[in-house]
Structure 1
């Protein structure tokens, strides 16, 4: 931990010359910021308790107004983020998955297997048990090998 902190302190930020230098807050300013933040948090808790633990007439009247119903519905639907997430991420993903359901890359990988199957069926036709077919196929193979040797030389 000490070594990583020491090494991390030696790393110069990459945008040090681009971004303006920041100044640290003075001790009094930091204390003022902390006290203000605490007061705002406590005030928010007290206002929420006053609104919700009392008779709630103000809250009920606001909730039953037209803007209150609109914002209530909007907030209960997560500010529309579920709808937006569905339209931006889920629907395009499902569309791409539907397009790729036949798996075209896998179809390319099936080509050697299909060629092997057809070659096997072709060789199966030549396997008939007659010796003359075997001698003829060996002779054709020898002619092809000799022709290749003559062409490649």
Structure 2
């Protein structure tokens, strides 16, 4: 079946901490856009220019470019994932080559919200998505919560 996602195969830690599906499948946006606060564009710094990427940020798949992306909307790098009242946090996942693969936004002390590529939005712990196709949660960023 097209767009079929094998959750346990791609994210083995979900056998311990499952994902909670929170939306229907859509190709309208991806995880990078979702963490950015956009649900109508697919964000990616592809060299062909097929996807949206801000002109002021180098169109390269580097952690520095992804940090600059979230800095555009007021995020700054922080030390960890701990929940802070009055703050919004995002996390950037990196693969073993230190390349960005995924982003999620914090919901509360225990859960994060992600878009799984062309699949569903999900709620999850950081652990649930680690050690799978996205690599691991490595860069945490925060900003003041918008009212």
Same fold by TM-score, threshold 0.5 exceeded? no
Query: Per residue, is there more helix in 1 or in 2?
Result: 1
Specify the TM-score bucket, using the shorter chain as the normaliser.
Answer: under 0.3
| Structure with more relative contact order (C-alpha pairs < 8 Å, separation 6 or more) | 2
- Larger Rg, first or second structure (1 or 2): 1
